[in-house]
């Protein structure tokens, strides 16, 4: 019996959102405590916490977003770096088809898709 995948389809996203929310609230809460201990008042807290938050996002979140998201986009666009695996697999499949006596089929497919 196949488990119901609908319930678990977005589990990773929800867990990640939970970690993000927990760390975001913790960052602001402990920042509040440290600011009050350091300055004795709350004047300037918002500006300093926004600066720290965006500095952290710039160095960590955006860097990771670019590494994962950017690489996924380039893979989707079929950049030269992502073509290596596809071409290798096609050559293996062609070799297997030729071994099975399907050389004419390989030529027809190559002609249809303008592959040289």
88 pLDDT band (50/70/90 cuts)? Answer: confident
| Residue 107 forms part of a structural domain | yes
**Predicted model pTM:** 0.47
> What pLDDT was estimated at residue 1?
46
Burial class (CB in 10 A: 0-12, 13-18, 19+), 86: exposed
Q: What percent of the chain clears pLDDT 90, i.e. is strictly above it? A: 5
Sign of CA dihedral 57, 58, 61, 65: positive
Token output for 4: 């119901």
| Residue 87 forms part of a structural domain | yes
Alpha-carbon 94 to chain mean position: 32
| Residue 40 forms part of a structural domain | no
| Residue 98 forms part of a structural domain | yes
Give per-residue pLDDT as tens, 19-68. 889 988 998 999 999 998 888 888 889 988 888 888 887 777 777 877 78
Helix, strand, coil % over all residues of the chain, rounded to 5: 80, 0, 20
| Residue 95 forms part of a structural domain | yes
């Amino acid at each position: 019996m196949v488990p119901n995948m609908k319930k678990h389809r977005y589990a990773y996203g929800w867990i990640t959102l939970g970690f993000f929310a927990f760390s975001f609230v913790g960052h602001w809460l402990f920042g509040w405590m440290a600011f009050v201990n350091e300055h004795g008042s709350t004047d300037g807290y918002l500006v300093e916490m926004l600066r720290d938050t965006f500095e952290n996002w710039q160095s960590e979140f955006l860097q990771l977003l670019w590494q994962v998201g950017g690489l996924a986009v380039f893979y989707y666009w079929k950049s030269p770096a992502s073509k290596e695996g596809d071409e290798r697999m096609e050559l293996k499949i062609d070799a297997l088809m030729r071994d099975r006596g399907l050389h004419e089929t390989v030529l027809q497919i190559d002609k249809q898709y303008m592959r040289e």
